[in-house]
Amino acid sequence: MTAFTASAPGKIILAGEHAVVYGQPALAVPLPAVQARAVVRALLSDQEGPLRVIAPGIDLDSPLRELPPDHHLRAVVNAVLEELGIRQPPSLEIRISSTIPISSGLGSGAAVSVAASRALSAFLGKPLPDQKISEIAFEVEKIHHGTPSGIDNTVIAYQQPVFYAQGHKLETFTCPEAFTLVIGDTGHPSPTGRVVADVRQGWKDQPARYQAVFREIGDLVRTARSALEEGNLPQLGALLDENHRLLQQLEVSSPELDHLTQAAREAGAWGAKLSGGGRGGQMIALSPAGAAEEIAHQLESAGAAGTLTTCIRCT
Ligand code: PMV
């Protein structure tokens, strides 16, 4: 029997996280080295309910209707069925697998939503376009993230580098040469929704101070885009350092993230910063050619739970 399969990459925010929730631009690229995958196939019997969701990575094997209403896979399936106007779907099974670590700033939730909605809509004979897929993933992000900016679903659904600002037409960017990132994992998952809520509280308590930092990050992101487009990687590195400093001012860094970013700089990185929600999760280091192995080694010596070296092409 035909199975429909779809995959979606992880993502890395190069610059602009948190400020992007307040209307500033941010830069993000897909991370194809890690992927979420969804396989949808027909079930021969609907004894266990017409829709079954299986995700061995999170020990899930359940009829859809038995999942809590705010479960993110239930929300994805229902959003696709609603979008397609299907009230009584055929009996089917959706199987999710993913190599993207959860709650660590690599976009695992959005990638699962994108892969699942692509595979499901294709199985139902009406493959949805990228824009709809992105909108569905955005709605689902809201359940757990509260006020997402929309950058994760956008970069993952369109699978291209994005210069993203809420409410603006999607812009991509190109860079003349590929560059190398070493991604270091603190080993501590950090739910983005909680950090975003803390920043919101800080902004409410001290609006002028937070607003000034958001603006500074927005300006930095515009300069970083130009540096990327000109292939000026040392300048980009200095901007990543500066972005990390501004994220510290928003209190979204952590001792581990500060320690790992410093270790990366000392190992020869052009620059380093936390990436994503912060407080845990991942950091990134921009590596000169030939330095990635040493940076990864130093990150591991400094306590990183793991590293991933990846070559980013924005052509
Ligand atoms: O932690 P992640 O990878 O989901 O990234 C969150 C980025 C934020 O700017 C902090 C939140 C958002 O919705 O843009």
Q: What is the pLDDT of residues 9-51, one digit of tens each?
A: 999 999 999 999 999 999 999 999 999 999 999 987 666 568 9
- Rounded CA-CA distance 114/116 in Å is 6
Sequential DSSP letters for 203-256: HHHSHHHHHHHHHHHHHHHHHHHHHHHHT-HHHHHHHHHHHHHHHHHTT---HH
| 277 Cβ below 6 A of ligand 1 | yes
CB of 16 within 6 A of ligand 1: the answer is no
Average pLDDT (132-143) is: 95
What band does 232 get if pLDDT is binned at 50, 70 and 90? Answer: very high
User: Considering the chain, what percentage of its residues have pLDDT values greater than 70?
Assistant: 98
From 17, 147, 198, 213, mutation site for ligand 1 pocket: most ligand atoms within 8 A of C-beta? 17
State the virtual CA torsion across 160, 161, 163, 169 in degrees, nearest 10.
Answer: -10
- In short, whether 149's Cβ falls inside 6 Å of ligand 1 is yes
Fill in the amino acid letter for 204.
Answer: K
Please list the active-site residues.
152
DSSP code string of 92-150: EEEEEEE-SPTTSSS-HHHHHHHHHHHHHHHHTT-PPPHHHHHHHHHHHHHHHHSS--S
- For 8, phi then psi, to 5°, come to -145, 140
